[in-house]
Amino acid sequence: MSDALERLIGFDPFGEMSSPRRYLLLDVFAEAPLEGNQLAVFADGRGLDARTMQSVARELKLSETVFFLPPEAGGDARVRIFTPSAELPFAGHPVLGSAVVLAGALGRDTVVLETASGPVSIKLEPGAGRVRSGEMAQPLPSWERFGAADELLGALGVERSRLPVEEYRNGPRHIMVALDSEQQVASLDPDLRAVSWIAGEAGVSCFAGGAGRFKSRMFAPGLGVNEDPATGSAAGPLAVHCARHGESSFGERIEIRQGGEIGRPSLLQARAVGSSEALESVLVGGTTVMLARGEMFLD
| pLDDT score of 13 more than 90 | no
| Dihedrals phi, psi of 163, to nearest 5 degrees | -120, 165
Name the catalytic one among 35, 64, 167, 247: 64
Looking at the fold, whether 39 and 126 belong to one and the same domain comes out as yes
Q: Identify whether 15 is part of a domain.
A: no
Confidence of residue 74 (pLDDT cuts 50, 70, 90): very high
Looking at the fold, whether 149 and 231 belong to one and the same domain comes out as yes
Looking at the fold, whether 162 and 275 belong to one and the same domain comes out as yes
pLDDT at 122: 98
Least confident of 11-15, 95-99, 110-114, 267-271: 11-15
Looking at the fold, whether 234 and 256 belong to one and the same domain comes out as yes
Mean pLDDT of the chain: 95
Rounded Cα distance between 79 and 91, Å, is 11
How many domains are contained in the chain? Answer: 2
Q: Identify whether 26 is part of a domain.
A: yes
Q: What is the mean pLDDT of residues 233-253?
A: 98
Looking at the fold, whether 110 and 205 belong to one and the same domain comes out as no
Q: Identify whether 10 is part of a domain.
A: no
Looking at the fold, whether 121 and 201 belong to one and the same domain comes out as no
Catalytic residue flag (residue 64) = yes
| pLDDT score of 19 more than 90 | no
Looking at the fold, whether 147 and 278 belong to one and the same domain comes out as yes
Tens digits of per-residue pLDDT, 26-62?
999 999 999 999 999 999 999 999 999 999 999 999 9
pLDDT at 17: 62
pLDDT at 128: 79
SS3 letters across the chain: CCHHHHHHHCCCCCCCCCCCEEEEEEEECCCCCCCCEEEEEECCCCCCCHHHHHHHHHHHCCCEEEEEECCCCCCCEEEEEECCCCEECCCHHHHHHHHHHHHHHHCCCEEEEEECCEEEEEEECCCCCCEEEEEEECCCCEEEECCCHHHHHHHHCCCCCCCCCEEEECCCEEEEEECCCHHHHHCCCCCHHHHHHHHCCCEEEEEEEECCEEEEEEEEHHHCEEEECCCHHHHHHHHHHHHHCCCCCCCCCEEEEECHHHCCCEEEEEEEEECCCCEEEEEEEEEEEEEEEEEECCC
Better-predicted residue by pLDDT, 122 or 129: 122
Q: What is the mean pLDDT of residues 6-27?
A: 81
Q: Identify whether 13 is part of a domain.
A: no
Quick check: 171 and 139 in contact, CB under 8 A?
yes
pLDDT at 7: 77
pLDDT at 70: 96
pLDDT at 4: 80
Confidence of residue 129 (pLDDT cuts 50, 70, 90): confident
Q: Identify whether 274 is part of a domain.
A: yes
pLDDT at 14: 76
Looking at the fold, whether 64 and 117 belong to one and the same domain comes out as yes
Looking at the fold, whether 133 and 159 belong to one and the same domain comes out as no
| pLDDT score of 1 more than 70 | no
Quick one: how far is CA 21 from the chain centroid? 23
Tens digits of per-residue pLDDT, 75-126?
999 999 999 999 999 999 999 999 999 999 999 999 999 999 999 999 999 8
Tens digits of per-residue pLDDT, 138-184?
999 999 999 999 999 999 999 999 999 999 999 999 999 999 999 99
Tens digits of per-residue pLDDT, 175-227?
999 999 999 999 999 999 999 999 999 999 999 999 999 999 999 999 999 99
Rounded to two decimals, the pTM is 0.93
Looking at the fold, whether 269 and 147 belong to one and the same domain comes out as yes
Q: Identify whether 6 is part of a domain.
A: no
**Which residue range forms the structural domain that includes residue 119?**
21-138+288-296
109: CATH: 3.10.310.10
Q: Identify whether 116 is part of a domain.
A: yes
Q: Identify whether 69 is part of a domain.
A: yes
Looking at the fold, whether 179 and 236 belong to one and the same domain comes out as yes
Looking at the fold, whether 119 and 172 belong to one and the same domain comes out as no
